[in-house]
Chain A
Amino acid sequence: VQPPEKPLQAEEWNKLREDFQFPEIFEEVMLNAMIRCNSPIDVAKSLLTHLAKRNGDIPYNVLVKYLTLCVQQGQVSEICDVYDIMKGRFKILESGAYSLLIKGLSNSNQWKMALTLLEEVKKIMSPSRKCYESCIKAASRHQEMKLAFELYNEMLAKELVPTLDLLQSFFDISRGTKGAELQKELFGILLYLRENQIYPHKTFMRSIKLWFESLPGRKWRGRLTHIKDSGQCPVCSHQLEDSNLTEEEYSHLSERILRDVIHGTDTFRKTSPKELEAFQTFVENRLPFDIVIDGLNVSHIKSRKMQCENLFDAVNCLAKENARLLVLGRKHMLVNSSNWKREIMKEMQNKAEFFFAENISEDDAFLLYATLRSGKHCRFVTRDFLRDHKACLPDSLTRHLFRKWQRGHQISSSVFSQQPAFRYDCVVQTTGDTWHIPYKDVFEEKYSYQVPRKWLCIQQK
């Protein structure tokens, strides 16, 4: 339907309504169309007036639709009126109307009312992150930074994830303002990015840079750069944090892998206790390895080659450096077949240790265990992203540890040019007088296994 351009008289509305296919939902459909076309508010008003006169009442959903239109056009006095009417008519409102009201009012000089509404919402349900963000933005726009951060921390406590947009607005608004308290909060945001491995996008990064440079007294200077493979920053020649986990993190991760990934709810699902024990004694007797290879995964690198040839190439390539190799496979690889030649398998077994799991067992879990057990220097080769194993881990903290460890220890490449594992940790980091912040070029989320290569280096002079 096409909404009219001018307010209509009652009979004109009646005619339109009768022509419409489903007269019962005419008002709703018409208001939806108005919202879509951003029609003048007077047109909607005339429709409501017509409806009120015909029925003596306006249903809730129509009121909400009208409210949407008012919010869309920032008609503050109308929003207040609708709120008064709704409050009188209904005992409580539902979340949709509340978030519309909060959004509408927070953009006006009535923003304090949005805060009272937020309190009202809290009584019946937990407010959405959109509600919080509108209120926080409103408060910070009016220089009530303390209130804004109170709300922000309350939101984090409810495990709502703030949008980058909100975080950016904090930096934009506090540019050039003094106050140790405020600075502490903003550094807190940077640490939040660090803890959750969030990377800011380019415009956000600029806001951070400008904020740092605007800080009075301490002369900060920010520059964009790429970090060398060695992990050294070319601007300030500071060495970035290395990607190794701490002792504590390391043992926590290996314990979790054994408990949640390999055992899980039932050891029999991925392997069997007997096999696991055999594997554990096998690994303990031959420790430590330098590189652990997922045999089956590597054998599929080139589809035009025989599978055992692929594996043979990989083993040869890696064995050159006199490294101790462990290849994990399944028993079916030992059976002579068109893809697995016995002679080649024999030859390989001279160059590397092999462990063959049952055909129905999962060898990936063994791969993780053997690598972790060998120590920090040990790396593993597979093209698998290991997402299903990451998903078995119980909490986001452990998953982040896993990701970090994986970045530092996984060698994955299609044609064996050996894409090196990262030596430095790609995360927001500070030494007090320097900050290094990785950032994304575009707003869109990258794949979780990819990390940005561009950095913002901020240094105190």
Chain B
Amino acid sequence: MESANLLLRRIVRSSVLPFAAQHGMKKYLFPFSRTLSLSLCLKQDKLCEPSEKLDLDEWKKVMKSGLQEEVSEKASEPKDLSSLAAARETLEMWRLAGRAVPENISEEQLKAFMECPSKSAKKKYLKYLHLKELHKKNDKRKMDEKRERRLEAQDQASKTDETKKSPFVCLWSSTMDKAYNWRAAQSMIFGQPLVFDMSYEKEMSAREVTNTVRQIVLSESCNRRSVDPFHIHFCNFKDDSLYHREFIKNYREAWDKLLITVTDQCYTEIFPKDKLIYLTADSPKVMKTFDHNKIYIIGSMVDKSIKTGVSLARAKRLGLETAALPLEKYLLWSTGAKNLTLDQMMHILLTLKDTADWKKALEFVPKRKYCGFVNKPVKELKKTLDLINTLKLGKRQEEVENQFAKNYPKKYKRN
């Protein structure tokens, strides 16, 4: 896709083409006629005749010949651009230089770009927009292909036979929705509460808030689809906050029809304190079993800059009990932070609630973060870990020990 700007330039430049073609033709003709008569000379290839010698600077002529027209065109334009237009122009040049820059950029995005505090922030933002654009384009292409295939299939179907008969009216999705909503409504009366603490807006950047809300939307939908949903509470929720605006962007009209409780009150005002458990990866306490009489709190926060202890501090301040998932007890952890996304937490809690099976629940931890499940006691697990570490370090471990023996010969022998 060419932007209109470029297209215009192409058209202007097209007047150059015949000129280039003329020159090109001449060049094509010459060697051709010579192959017959002077094939020997050509094989040596080095000594070309002056007439045949390449005009190395010809490209300059071609480039400059296109100029004349553009110069006159440029003169009519206002000389100094507004800062926004200048930024747009710079972006266009970066794109031409082959940097990761989006093709189209809205006024709003351009302003956000200019407000980025540093060069690297700008670069990052552009890359993000660029990737977003690529994904969008790919999705659109796939949709188009799909539509085409469907149309083709329909064509063939209409040619061959009439519609099949079935005892049910085909109303799948809306019927399912009704059933789900029925369940969610039930949970609002009888269900176990689950609290999302919405008090982290100050701790996050705009991007992180967007990601948070996206994750909560996913969690809400998987809760709605579950057999026995939680009664979801959004506590400390301020109207017209960033969270609120993002939710409306995601849900649109459905936001007011959601079967959840949204309140600006704190969870401590709604529920008795001794029933609350704040889930945080920083907690020193490890969750052993899922308690159906407790109310679990999840902090609605995406933390890309590793602010440790933020949610633990919240719980400490209010004097609440805290708990962390027993990730180390059941999983051989390999890489990655122990904090999970909100939808993963939701999946885990729902599974625990239904089955009380840790192994099944922790299937939802991303596979890249752990090597495998361990059902053995912790001591044996540690042994395995040590073994893995020595295997990983391999020779280096031996070297270290040798070095140690050299430095402290006596003590080493004694031990």
Query: Residues of A at under 8 Å CB distance from B?
Result: 7, 9-11, 28, 42, 45-46, 48-49, 51-54, 56-61, 64, 81, 84-85, 88-94, 96-97, 124-126, 265-270, 272, 304, 359-360
Given contacts A9-B31, A45-B56, A53-B23, contact A59 B14 (CB under 8 A): no
Separation of A46 and B67 alpha carbons in the complex (Å)? 21
B22 CB → nearest A CB, Å: 10
B316 at the A interface (CB under 8 A): yes
B225 at the A interface (CB under 8 A): no
Separation of A7 and B67 alpha carbons in the complex (Å)? 26
Q: Which residues of the partner chain B approach A269 to less than 8 Å between Cβ atoms?
A: 308-310, 312-313
A90 to B, closest residue via Cβ: B93
Separation of A54 and B64 alpha carbons in the complex (Å)? 16
B178 at the A interface (CB under 8 A): no
In the complex, the answer to whether B313 meets A49 with C-beta atoms within 8 Å is: no
Separation of A94 and B88 alpha carbons in the complex (Å)? 11
Which one of B94-102, B211-219, B287-295 is at the A interface? B94-102
Q: List 12 A-B contacts (CB under 8 A).
A: A49-B54, A49-B56, A52-B63, A53-B20, A56-B62, A57-B63, A59-B96, A84-B64, A92-B93, A96-B97, A266-B310, A272-B316
Q: Most chain-A CB neighbours within 10 Å: which of B23, B93, B308?
A: B93
Query: Residues of B at under 8 Å CB distance from A?
Result: 13-14, 16-17, 19-20, 23-24, 27-28, 31, 54-60, 62-64, 66-67, 70-71, 74, 86, 89-90, 93-94, 96-99, 119, 203, 284, 308-310, 312-314, 316-317, 411, 415
A141 CB → nearest B CB, Å: 28
A409 CB → nearest B CB, Å: 27
Separation of A53 and B57 alpha carbons in the complex (Å)? 12
In the complex, the answer to whether B313 meets A91 with C-beta atoms within 8 Å is: no
A100 CB → nearest B CB, Å: 11
Q: Which residues of the partner chain B approach A360 to less than 8 Å between Cβ atoms?
A: 284, 312
Name the one of B19, B28, B317 contacting A11, with C-beta atoms under 8 angstroms.
Answer: B28
Q: Which residues of the partner chain A approach B317 to less than 8 Å between Cβ atoms?
A: 266, 268, 272
A94 to B, closest residue via Cβ: B93
Given contacts A85-B60, A268-B314, contact A56 B20 (CB under 8 A): yes
Given contacts A52-B63, A89-B66, A97-B97, contact A125 B58 (CB under 8 A): no
In the complex, the answer to whether A81 meets B56 with C-beta atoms within 8 Å is: no
B410 CB → nearest A CB, Å: 13
A15 CB → nearest B CB, Å: 13
Separation of A46 and B28 alpha carbons in the complex (Å)? 15
Name the one of A11, A56, A94, A268 contacting B313, with C-beta atoms under 8 angstroms.
Answer: A268
Separation of A64 and B96 alpha carbons in the complex (Å)? 10
Name the one of B54, B66, B90 contacting A46, with C-beta atoms under 8 angstroms.
Answer: B54
B31 to A, closest residue via Cβ: A9
Q: Which residues of the partner chain B approach A46 to less than 8 Å between Cβ atoms?
A: 54, 56
Name the one of A10, A93, A265 contacting B93, with C-beta atoms under 8 angstroms.
Answer: A93
In the complex, the answer to whether B415 meets A304 with C-beta atoms within 8 Å is: yes
Separation of A91 and B284 alpha carbons in the complex (Å)? 61
In the complex, the answer to whether B97 meets A10 with C-beta atoms within 8 Å is: no
A125 to B, closest residue via Cβ: B90
A68 CB → nearest B CB, Å: 11
In the complex, the answer to whether B54 meets A7 with C-beta atoms within 8 Å is: yes
Q: Which residues of the partner chain A approach B411 to less than 8 Å between Cβ atoms?
A: 304
Q: Which residues of the partner chain B approach A11 to less than 8 Å between Cβ atoms?
A: 28, 31
Q: Which residues of the partner chain A approach B55 to less than 8 Å between Cβ atoms?
A: 49
Q: Which residues of the partner chain B approach A49 to less than 8 Å between Cβ atoms?
A: 54-59, 62
B46 to A, closest residue via Cβ: A6
Separation of A51 and B64 alpha carbons in the complex (Å)? 14
A302 to B, closest residue via Cβ: B411
Q: Which residues of the partner chain A approach B415 to less than 8 Å between Cβ atoms?
A: 304
B58 to A, closest residue via Cβ: A49
Separation of A289 and B19 alpha carbons in the complex (Å)? 89
In the complex, the answer to whether A57 meets B13 with C-beta atoms within 8 Å is: yes
B64 CB → nearest A CB, Å: 7
For the A-B complex with A90-B93, A268-B317, A272-B316 known, give 4 more contacts whose Cβ atoms are closer than 8 Å: A54-B20, A57-B66, A90-B96, A92-B93
In the complex, the answer to whether A58 meets B63 with C-beta atoms within 8 Å is: yes
Q: Which residues of the partner chain A approach B70 to less than 8 Å between Cβ atoms?
A: 88-89
B240 CB → nearest A CB, Å: 24
In the complex, the answer to whether A270 meets B54 with C-beta atoms within 8 Å is: no
In the complex, the answer to whether A61 meets B67 with C-beta atoms within 8 Å is: no
Q: Which residues of the partner chain A approach B59 to less than 8 Å between Cβ atoms?
A: 45, 48-49, 51-53, 58
